[in-house]
Amino acid sequence: MYCNNCGTEIDDKAVVCVKCGCAVKPTPATLDAGERSDKDWMTTLLLCFFLGGIGVHRFYVGKTGTGILQLITLGCCGVWSLIDFIVIACGNFTDGEGKRIVNTNR
């Protein structure tokens, strides 16, 4: 693996580059199986896009409490759903157990 900032080769499990000190963002390939959710990234993204206003994507990933809140508030008039969509697309959305939902096709 290489540092995104300086290009130095670093260990696959590194969190920080030893040369420049920049944080290394984990890629789907470097995440351990215990850190990755078994929920499908594309399904979550599409559910958020089409049914995000009523929180269906949150029910899908196991976040029932916030799913109900989104259902009641209609995704805070779409703002909450838009934020969720961006977070899912960037690969930083987590499931109900705190595991990241990532695109493994990258």
Q: Is pLDDT of 30 > 90?
A: no
**Mean pLDDT throughout 16-32?**
73
What was the pLDDT predicted at 18? 84
What was the pLDDT predicted at 32? 65
Query: Do the Cβ atoms of 37 and 94 come closer than 8 Å?
Result: yes
Question: Other CB atoms closer than 10 Å to residue 2's CB: what's the count?
Answer: 11
What was the pLDDT predicted at 35? 83
Helix (H/G/I), strand (E/B), else coil: 64: helix
**Mean pLDDT throughout 78-106?**
91
Bin 40: left if φ > 0, else alpha if -120 < ψ < 50, else beta: beta
Bin 88: left if φ > 0, else alpha if -120 < ψ < 50, else beta: alpha
State both tokens at 81. 């759903």
Model confidence pLDDT, tens digit, residues 32-90? 667 889 999 999 999 999 999 999 999 999 999 999 999 999 988 889 999 999 999 99
Query: Do the Cβ atoms of 44 and 101 come closer than 8 Å?
Result: yes
Residue 28 confidence class, pLDDT cut points 50, 70, 90: low
Q: What is the pTM of this model?
A: 0.73
